[in-house]
Amino acid sequence: MNKPLSKSNVLASKVIFAAMTILRDGGGQMKAAEIFDAIPQKLTLDDWAQEVIESNGLARWRSYVHFFSVDAVKAGYLLKTKGIWQITSSGVQALSLGELGYFLAARECYRAWKRQQLNSPDIALPQGSDADDASVTQEPPEDQFERLRKEVNSVLAAEILEVVKTNSWQFFERLVVQLLLAMGYGGTGGMGLALQRGGDGGVDGFINQDKLGLDIVYVQAKRWADQTVGRPEIQQFVGALAGRQANRGVFITTSRFSADARDYVKPLHVRVILIDGELLAQLMIEHGVGVSTWKSYELKRIDSDFFSEE
C-alpha cells in the first residue's frame, strides 16, 4: 500500500496531471506557455501553491510542473522540442490511471532511470573491483564515502541538466546570473552584470569586474538541447569580444562543444572559458545554485591531542 503523499507531492500530482490533461485535450501538441496559461483556469490554486520560490523566481505550482515534467519525459509520456510539448500514446494511456496513478507511474519510471544512471559504466568502480561485496569491503571507508558522494553527484548533475533544458529562457537567464554571482563575478550584488536575451533564446551580455569597467568579461549562454556548439559559433563569439572591448569570455551551453571548437580556443591570445552542460551542472552543485542540502554526514577521526598526557 502506498504511503500518503506529502503536501508538495499532492500539489505536484495535481498540476502535472492537469498539464498533461490540457495537452491531451488540446490536440496532443501545444506550446508550453499555452499549457501553463491554462492550468490556473483549470485548477483552484491556494496561496501556498502560488507563492514565489525565491531560488528560481517561479510560483511554486509552476516550478513543480517544470520539475515533474521530467518524470513524464523519462517515462516516455512526453516529448519536448523548443518549447513545444507533445503527449505520446503512452502518456494518453497513463492518464487513464487517474491523478494519483499517473503520478506514481511516472515517478517510478523516473526512479528506474536514476537506478540506470547509477549503474552506468561512466560511474567508475574502485580500481580492481569486480563490484562484489568483498572488493568494496577492501576499500578504505573514507574512499567508499568519497566514491558514493561522486556517484550521487553524478546522478544529481544529470537531473539538473534535464530540468534546465526543459525550463524557459527566462529561467535560464536567471540561472546564468545566479551562477555567475555565486562564482564571484559581477561585483557586490551583481551591479556589474549586464545581460539580455539573445536572438536564439540564449543569453548575451558582459560583466564589469571593476567600477571603471577596465576588466570586462563577455558572456554568451545558449540553452540548446542536443545541438553541438561548433567552431563557427566560437569564432563568432571571439570576434564579438573585440567589438565589446572585452579581454575575457565565458561561453555557456546546456549541450556540448565539438573537439574542433575546444581546439580553436587553446592558442588564442584572449582567455575564453567553455562551459558545457556537464560542467554547468557540476558548477551549480559546487556553488549551491538550484540545489539544497538534503542530508549531511560527518567523518570523525581520533583527536590525538586529547589523548596526549604531555
Please give the share of the chain, as a percent, with pLDDT higher than 90: 31
Predicted local confidence at residue 100, as pLDDT: 92
CA–CA separation, 66 and 74 (whole Å):
13
Span 7-114: which CATH code?
Answer: 1.10.10
What does 111-164 look like in DSSP terms, one character per residue? HHHHHHHHT-TTSPPPTT--SSHHHHHHS-HHHHHHHHHHHHHHHHHHHHHHHH
Per-residue pLDDT band at 230 (split at 50, 70, 90): very high
Per-residue pLDDT band at 201 (split at 50, 70, 90): very low
In terms of DSSP bridges, do strands 52-53 and 58-59 run parallel, antiparallel, or are they unpaired?
antiparallel
pLDDT tens readout for residues 15-31: 999 999 999 999 999 99
Per-residue pLDDT band at 111 (split at 50, 70, 90): confident
Per-residue pLDDT band at 127 (split at 50, 70, 90): very low
What does 207-260 look like in DSSP terms, one character per residue? EESSTTS-SEEEEEEE--SSPPB-HHHHHHHHHHHHHTT-SEEEEEESS-B-HH
Beta bridge partners of 149: none
CB–CB of 63/52 below 8 Å?
no
- Local structure of 29: helix, strand or coil: strand
CB–CB of 182/289 below 8 Å?
yes
Fold of 169-286: Trna Endonuclease; Chain: A, domain 1 (3.40.1350)
Grid cell, residue 73, equals 519525459
Using the predicted structure, report yes or no on whether residue 298 has a pLDDT greater than 50. yes
Using the predicted structure, report yes or no on whether residue 97 has a pLDDT greater than 90. yes
Using the predicted structure, report yes or no on whether residue 128 has a pLDDT greater than 80. no
Using the predicted structure, report yes or no on whether residue 219 has a pLDDT greater than 80. yes
The residue-averaged pLDDT of 239-243 equals 81
What does 162-197 look like in DSSP terms, one character per residue? HHHHHS-HHHHHHHHHHHHHHTT-SSGGGTTEEEEE
Global pTM? 0.59
Question: Which amino acid is present at 90?
Answer: S
- Local structure of 265: helix, strand or coil: helix
Predicted local confidence at residue 135, as pLDDT: 40
Q: Specify which of 104-113, 134-143, 255-264, 288-297 reaches the highest per-range mean pLDDT.
A: 255-264
